[in-house]
Amino acid sequence: MTDVRDYGFYWGTSSTALTNQTHLNSSAKNADSFSSVISSLEAGKTYYYQAYVQQLEGGQLKEYKGAVKSFTTAASTGQGGYRPYLYCYEMPAINLKAGTTYGSGSEKSGCGYKWYNHETSNANQKVATHTYKYNNKVYRNYSCLVDKTKKAPLWSAFVMHKDVYPDNNVGRTGSWTDDPAIPSGWQQSGVDSPYSRGHFVASNYRQVNDDANGATFYHTNQAPQYQTSFNDGCWNSLEQAVKSNAPSGRDTLYVVVGVLYETSQTSSGVPIPSHFYKLLMKCSFDTSGTMTAAKGVAYIFTNEAHSGDKYTDAKFRTTIDAIEERTGFDFYANVPKSLQDAAEQQTASLW
């Protein structure tokens, strides 16, 4: 029996430069065929791919490659054109502005990877997505919906996976700065005590390289959060638990962090969120990339001191459905309905 160690595809936009790689590992070593789903491709573009298998022979790892083949993605539709990264599993449903496509530009480090933004049907709200490069591959960092009237994001959506987003311990490499994908007038740099800048995508979630971490310090990745006994307390503990329990292999944790404005409190003229919430959905996939299972839970906290409280206290745990009802957003809209409905009604901890 052959000792298969890895298999998958090399792929890219040139037949002579297959710079991307999709690993499928060795879970189907006895299979006669294998496949993979590649997301976030550009519309109307030709892609090239080549299958490979790596196996151990006589103590040496050998790689066998198939022929280079190609496919072309469908052209943009008349519904506003191609929309990069808006159809990832954790993304909420978004009402896009009709007749527009998207804007893009270089992230502030200027290394060639891009940000993308999309106009919505609400003139005061825009979606921004940030990407970074690592080992010559482009990865999505996170996506957020920014509200001009709040000068803050309403939610950020992102992925936690130990293999895809490894912890290389780069530290806090960023300094707070405006998001280049969003008008500066829509952003605020922080407010006075007792509030601090509350990260949506935590700095320690993106420790793969300086660029990935730096984007977590955009002003669109924070909102005023009560500092003592909340940001530095039970909220921080929940952040650490999410990182510690990020899956690997064929499981993926999809996260949405957001805020509510159910009061009219302000500080330095900036609206203060009444609540912070964190939605978690852990999904499993088979060897073909098909989602086979999903479990969900939601946490919600009032934006104030929670002295002595732990995030594990039952009073903070609720359903994703309950948060949807209060926010009006349809979260995890791209998860198959048969799995999404059940996961959004659960309250049990994922670990």
Return the C-alpha torsion angle 88, 94, 95, 100, nearest 10: -50
How far is the C-alpha of 49 from the C-alpha of 179, rounded, in Å?
34
Instruction: Count Cβ atoms below 10 Å from residue 288 Cβ, excluding itself.
Output: 14
Task: Judge residue 336's burial from the number of C-beta atoms within 10 Å of its C-beta, 0-12 exposed, 13-18 middle, 19 or more buried.
Answer: middle
Between 56 and 199, whose confidence is greater?
A: 199
231 Cα distance to chain centroid: 21
Question: Among residues 124, 161, 291, 155, which one has the least CA distance to residue 223?
Answer: 155
Give bridge partners of residue 218 from the DSSP assignment: 177
How far is the C-alpha of 274 from the C-alpha of 262, rounded, in Å?
6
Tell me what the mean pLDDT of segment 114-131 comes to. Answer: 96
Phi, psi of 337 (to 5 degrees): -55, -35
- Structural domain spans, the chain: 3-72, 103-343
Question: Among residues 241, 168, 175, 244, which one has the least CA distance to residue 207?
Answer: 168
* C-beta of residue 48 within 8 angstroms of C-beta of residue 16: no
For residue 135, pLDDT over 80 is answered with: yes
Round the average pLDDT of the chain to a whole number and report it. Answer: 90
- Please report the pLDDT score of residue 80 as a whole number: 43
How far is the C-alpha of 289 from the C-alpha of 239, rounded, in Å?
28
- Please report the pLDDT score of residue 11 as a whole number: 84
Q: What is the pLDDT of residues 170-225, one digit of tens each?
A: 999 878 999 999 999 999 998 999 999 999 999 999 999 999 999 999 999 999 99
Instruction: Indicate the pLDDT class of residue 246, thresholds 50, 70 and 90.
Output: very high
- Interior/surface letters 2-21, b for 16+ CB within 10 angstroms, e for the rest: eebebbbbbbeeeeeebebe
Three-class SS state of 338: helix
How far is the C-alpha of 123 from the C-alpha of 146, rounded, in Å?
11
Instruction: Indicate the pLDDT class of residue 90, thresholds 50, 70 and 90.
Output: very high
- Please report the pLDDT score of residue 79 as a whole number: 42
C-alpha neighbours within 13 Å on the C-beta side of residue 286? 8
How far is the C-alpha of 83 from the C-alpha of 103, rounded, in Å?
10
How far is the C-alpha of 128 from the C-alpha of 155, rounded, in Å?
11
- CATH 3.40.570.10 for domain 103-343, yes or no, is yes
- Tokens read off for 351: 């670990």
For residue 78, pLDDT over 60 is answered with: no
Mention every residue, 6+ apart, whose C-beta is less than 8 A from residue 236.
none
Instruction: Indicate the pLDDT class of residue 99, thresholds 50, 70 and 90.
Output: confident
